[in-house]
Chains A and B, each alone.
Chain A
Amino acid sequence: MVESEKTWHNLPDRVSSRYLIDKLSRRAVFACAAISLLVLVAIVAFILREGLPAFIQIGVGEFLFGAEWSLKGQEFGILPLVLGSVLATFGTLIIAAPLSIACAIFLAEVSPKRVANVLRSAIEVLVGIPSVVYGLVGMAVLVPVIRKLGGSGYSLLAGIAVLSVMVLPTMTTITEDSLRAVPRGYKEAALALGATHWQAVWRVTVPAAKSGIAAAFVLGMGRAIGETMAVYMVIGNVFAFPTSPLDPARTMTTHILGQIQEAAVGSLHLRALFAVGIVLMIFILIFNSIAFALRRRVQ
């Protein structure tokens, strides 16, 4: 067959700059990925570089278990902060966990579709509201109410209440997802054996979803321990061991926030703040790893 007959239209020259562009672009996106990775490494490296010397200078035991933080005496102990964070986090879990399980069951099993949709969009809005707005409403509404119970109102309890509202959406959404991921057959088997709907949900669906629900709780705790502004606005931020929920307290995050502007460059004070950041990151890392493992188990 004749060549010209085959060529019934002329295409542009086949060798062109597009090969070069292809190669350059590949390098460019690789560079983007490399820089992103570098940012990740830089964050960890910087925090460690600034923070680790503080552990050595202050002494690990002194730092973790000391109960004094004084610039004059150059004493840096963070036990009250760790305790404050832990109490705030577990307090949040105690309030938010039952509520979010109940709300998730409500969404997945109980409520009519339209009610569920309204509630779901409400939850979506809650997720997006800036944390300072939660703090503001906490200051304006919760603090005066708690003041009536005793104290100034700026208290651990106020912090826990604000945090509970903030983590509720995340925990509810993930819990609902894990409830929905349970195969329908499980529940139907229970129903076929004469269980009531509630018995089937509570004894079959919820236990089957327990890894996912646990992951939801751990992620909620991770958010609670890392939250700063909203807590700062209501917790009173007093460096002391709280003896009751009505006492003011200070968490690791609010401590960093409160002192970050004051610490002089190169001072032990600033390095000690980074060291607080390291302790905080370790908590987050533990929570994340647990959540990661739990979610992997679900899959």
Chain B
Amino acid sequence: MSFEITTKDLDVFYGEKQALKKVNLCVNEHQITALMGPSGCGKSTLLRSLNRMNDNIAGVRVEGQVLLGGRDVYAPEVDAVEIRQRVGMVFQQPNPLPKSIFENIAFGPKVLGMKNKTALEEIAEKSLRAAALWDEVKDELKKSALALSGGQQQRLCIARALAIQPEVILMDEPCSALDPFSTLKIEELMQVLKKRYTIVIVTHNMQQAARVSDWTGFFLMGKLIEYDETAEVFSRPKDKRTENYITGRFG
């Protein structure tokens, strides 16, 4: 079974405003795909339509298809909740729930109906190890997640996403609220995680896209301007606008 994501002629509207225009994108599995572009270019909108998080915003209309492993995410019989179990998400601002570290990790499995304490503890340890946070917090799992540093909180959010065993992890500018050291840790973590998961990251930061990703898509005003292997995009951009962007002439 494959876990690639494909969008076909994806249009997203916020009320009257069209945020995405006929986007066709194919995300390969077990690779990191970066979406970059200036603010308001639609990259976050695209990310949020992959796991139907846009459903919660009033006045959103989606046309076209998002295929996840060959199945249309927006098909009428598909439940958004089910999609979100298969597609984990990490947000721009670390958003741990105001609960203990353990409860944050256990939240996902618990809403799925898991009650077994030992199993939950096992999941917590595995997830925290996978997010490279275990050693820092193993003695204080009962402590409030809000007491962690920003970087730790973000890794907790990653661990939390891993606990529901997603196939894909979406990251919406996960490092923009973090210091350089925490950013580095998360970037290293992404390289480890991509062996198991397909990762899509939205970033504002071109260097980050160049550093971490295998494929890069460049967005401008709701359109996917260029999409290619990262090395290709940064060394030989095919579109003039991409070139202007990566050489710093705007944005």
Indicate whether A and B are direct neighbours in the complex (CB within 8 Å).
yes
Name the segment of B54-62, B110-118, B219-227 touching the other chain.
Answer: B110-118
Does B165 lie within 8 Å of A18, measured CB to CB?
no
Name the segment of A1-9, A98-106, A199-207, A209-217 touching the other chain.
Answer: A1-9
CA separation between A40 and B109, bound complex, in Å? 42
In the complex, chain B residues whose CB is within 8 Å of the CB of A14: 82, 85, 112
Q: B79, B85, B114, B119: which contacts A19 (Cβ < 8 A)?
A: B79
Does B165 lie within 8 Å of A6, measured CB to CB?
yes
At the interface, is chain A mostly helix, strand, loop or mixed? loop
Q: C-beta contact mask, B155-169 vs A, less than 8 Å → 1, else 0?
A: 000000000110100
- Asked whether B123 is an interface residue with its Cβ less than 8 Å from the other chain, the reply is yes
Does B1 lie within 8 Å of A7, measured CB to CB?
no
What is the total number of residues of chain B having a CB less than 8 Å from a CB of chain A? 20
- Asked whether A16 is an interface residue with its Cβ less than 8 Å from the other chain, the reply is yes
Q: B30, B126, B164: which contacts A8 (Cβ < 8 A)?
A: B126
- Asked whether A265 is an interface residue with its Cβ less than 8 Å from the other chain, the reply is no
> A6, A10, A11, A19 — which one has the most chain B CB atoms within 10 A of its CB?
A11
CB neighbors of B among A173-210 (8 A): none
CA separation between A1 and B196, bound complex, in Å? 8
User: B interface vs A, CB < 8 Å?
Assistant: 1, 30, 79, 81-82, 85, 109, 111-114, 119, 122-123, 126, 164-165, 167, 195-196
Question: Apart from A9-B119, A11-B112, A11-B165, what are 19 other A-B pairs with CB-CB below 8 Å?
Answer: A3-B1, A6-B165, A6-B167, A7-B165, A8-B126, A9-B122, A9-B123, A9-B126, A9-B165, A10-B119, A11-B109, A11-B164, A12-B109, A12-B113, A12-B114, A16-B113, A18-B111, A19-B79, A22-B81
- Can you name 17 A-B pairs with beta carbons within 8 Å? A1-B195, A5-B196, A6-B167, A9-B123, A9-B165, A10-B119, A11-B109, A11-B112, A11-B165, A12-B114, A14-B85, A14-B112, A18-B111, A18-B113, A19-B79, A19-B81, A22-B81
